[in-house]
């Protein structure tokens, strides 16, 4: 027995010598060999542990299914036991990417009752977890619930920035309306005409159009000028606009809730005028996107919570493409958010979508006077859709452009001039324009509409004559891609 033992030792010594030689030849020491062996063991151990943990989770899910099958009220009867299980098995999609914990779920139960946890638990047991279950259970999306939880607890206060709860005319849908360019700049013939009218702006828009705007749950326009009495026009720029800050009352009269400042006239009178514009809108209670006193402000989305869903709106401008009169904001200077290179705006869209149910992109792009949307607009739209846009509203061209879809996202490439001036680059004083509407249904689906309007001289009216309305719709259909507008203005995707 002793001889066998010694023979074994000799064999082990020989092996160790060989290993030692190999170590020396490879320029490594005993510690490296030990580390290699330990690392290999560690990787195998981690893999084994991962497989074991996954197996345990699968077993736990099967047990949860069995318990719920036997007793559908098991969750509400013992929420303390089920809450950790829900947290352990929910995925990021179900919780909207938010850092929910036990505190959130106990708050949720306190608000909506213990029975409200059962559908969430049942959803956790499915292979594909649908966040719509929150809305179906309590009438609030997970993004809205998280917002309310942050309000109640005071945690993550940044989640509450630029968020507005908005009452709607109907509990079944949220109506958001959009117009093209509006210009209240001094010395514009439209503004001079308005100043002569007894009823001001109400003599410049038809009654039907005013009712449509003021009756919308959210009304958004392109604010194509700064509000200020300061600054000097940019040297060398052919057209510069500036309105007295008191003109902002026109927007309140028309029921405007939010404006885009991302356009090629926001910088016409310099930094002071941009700052005055933001202060004027803030004082008037009108939200704004697409520009700011610095780049952080310029990139901020604005959120509305309506009928239990959270809607984000973001804006940027592609213009100018060749000149540089319109400056992008920096960390220390005011300006707009640009998207000639879409990388920065794409991140803005991704962030907005991650924190909302529906993301609406409002973009200033295209070529003035060109009725057909162009390849660079399509390329930008594709990037926006990839980033999470649900609807894209375009403007800048001073004329209508068509509608199309990318995937299932509707895009109107330009709404044209809404109420801008009574002249145009092609000498035509009558300009077709329109109002786009986004109607968000209770199931989260979107209806997209185009409602024809006309600016004739210094007045804009909603087209009510059937023949005139159909004529504009026919023109739009002829200039659109895979989209069709019916006689009521409802847009659908062509297959």
Contacts (Cβ under 8 Å, ≥6 apart) of 330: 294, 295
Q: For residues 182 and 261, is the Cβ–Cβ distance under 8 A?
A: no
- How many residues are recorded in the chain? 495
Which residues in the chain show pLDDT less than 70? 1-54, 422-428
pLDDT value at residue 47: 58
C-alpha–C-alpha distance, residues 147 and 304, integer Å: 11
Element (H, E) at 164: strand 163-165
Secondary structure (DSSP) of 297-353: HHT--EEEEETTEEEEEEEEE---SS---SPBP-SSS-EE-B-SSTHHHHHHHHHHH
- Which class would CATH give 163-493? alpha beta
Nearest to 166 by CA among 257, 247, 249: 257
Q: For residues 220 and 313, is the Cβ–Cβ distance under 8 A?
A: yes
Secondary structure (DSSP) of 178-247: EEEEE---TT-HHHHHHHHSTTGGGGTB-HHHHHHHHHSSEEEEEE-S-B-S---PPTT-S----B-GGG
Nearest to 249 by CA among 200, 216, 208: 200
pLDDT value at residue 255: 98
Element (H, E) at 288: strand 287-289
Helix, strand, or coil here: 141? coil
Cα atoms found within 13 Å of the Cα of residue 401, Cβ hemisphere only:
26
C-alpha–C-alpha distance, residues 280 and 286, integer Å: 9
Domain boundaries, the chain: 53-160, 163-493
Cα 203 off chain centre by: 35
pLDDT value at residue 428: 63
pLDDT value at residue 22: 40
Q: What is the DSSP letter of 494?
A: -
pLDDT value at residue 11: 40
C-alpha–C-alpha distance, residues 273 and 4, integer Å: 96
Nearest to 131 by CA among 174, 97, 171: 97
User: What confidence tens digit (pLDDT) does each residue in 101-133 have?
Assistant: 999 999 999 999 999 999 999 999 998 999 999
C-alpha–C-alpha distance, residues 260 and 291, integer Å: 8
> Can you say whether residue 268 is alpha, beta or left, with left for phi > 0 and alpha for psi between -120 and 50 degrees?
alpha
Burial class of 221 by CB neighbour count within 10 A (0 to 12, 13 to 18, 19+): buried
Q: What is the DSSP letter of 147?
A: H
C-alpha–C-alpha distance, residues 214 and 255, integer Å: 5
C-alpha–C-alpha distance, residues 113 and 106, integer Å: 10
């Amino acid at each position: 027995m002793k001889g066998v033992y010694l023979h074994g030792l000799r064999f082990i010594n020989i092996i160790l010598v060989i290993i030692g030689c190999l170590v020396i030849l490879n320029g490594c020491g005993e510690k490296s060999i030990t580390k290699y062996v330990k690392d290999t063991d560690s990787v195998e151990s981690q893999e084994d542990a991962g497989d074991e943990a996954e197996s345990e989770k699968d077993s736990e899910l099967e047990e949860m299914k069995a318990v719920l099958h036997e007793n559908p009220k098991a969750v509400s009867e013992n929420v303390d036991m089920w809450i950790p299980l829900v947290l352990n098995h929910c995925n990021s999609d179900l919780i909207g990417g938010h850092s929910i914990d036990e505190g959130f779920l106990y708050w949720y139960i306190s608000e909506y009752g213990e029975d409200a946890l059962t559908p969430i638990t049942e959803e956790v047991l499915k292979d594909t977890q649908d966040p719509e279950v929150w809305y179906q259970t309590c009438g609030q999306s997970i993004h809205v619930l998280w917002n309310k939880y942050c309000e109640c607890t005071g945690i993550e206060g940044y989640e509450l920035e630029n968020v507005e709860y908005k009452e709607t005319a109907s509990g079944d849908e949220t109506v958001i309306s959009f117009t093209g360019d509006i210009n209240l700049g001094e010395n514009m013939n439209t503004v001079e005409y308005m100043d002569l009218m007894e009823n001001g702006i109400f003599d410049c828009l038809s009654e039907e159009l005013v009712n449509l705007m003021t009756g919308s749950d959210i009304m958004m326009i392109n604010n194509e000028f700064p509000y200020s009495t300061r600054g000097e026009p940019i040297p060398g720029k052919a057209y510069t606009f500036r309105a007295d800050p008191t003109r902002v009352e026109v927007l309140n009269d028309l029921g405007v809730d939010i404006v885009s400042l991302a356009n090629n006239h926001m910088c016409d009178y310099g930094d002071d005028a941009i700052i005055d514009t933001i202060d004027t809108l803030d004082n008037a209670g009108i939200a704004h996107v697409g520009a700011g006193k610095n780049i952080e402000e310029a990139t901020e989305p604005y959120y509305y919570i309506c009928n239990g869903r959270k809607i984000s709106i973001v804006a940027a401008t592609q213009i100018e493409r060749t000149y540089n009169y319109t400056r992008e904001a920096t960390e220390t200077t005011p300006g707009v958010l640009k998207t000639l290179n879409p990388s920065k705006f794409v991140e803005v869209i991704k962030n907005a979508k991650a924190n909302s149910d529906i993301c609406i992109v409002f973009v200033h792009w295209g070529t003035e006077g060109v009725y057909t949307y162009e390849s660079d607009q399509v390329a930008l739209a594709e990037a926006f859709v990839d980033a999470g846009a649900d609807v894209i509203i375009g403007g800048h061209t001073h004329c209508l452009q068509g509608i199309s879809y990318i995937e299932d996202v509707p895009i109107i490439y330009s709404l044209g001039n809404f109420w801008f001036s009574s002249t145009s680059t092609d000498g035509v004083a009558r300009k077709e324009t329109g109002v786009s509407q986004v109607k968000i249904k209770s199931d989260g689906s979107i209806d997209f509409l185009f409602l024809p309007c006309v600016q004739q001289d210094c007045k804009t009216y909603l087209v009510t004559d059937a023949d005139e309305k159909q004529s504009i719709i026919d023109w739009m259909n002829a200039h659109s891609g895979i989209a069709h507008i019916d006689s009521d203005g409802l847009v659908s995707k062509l297959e």
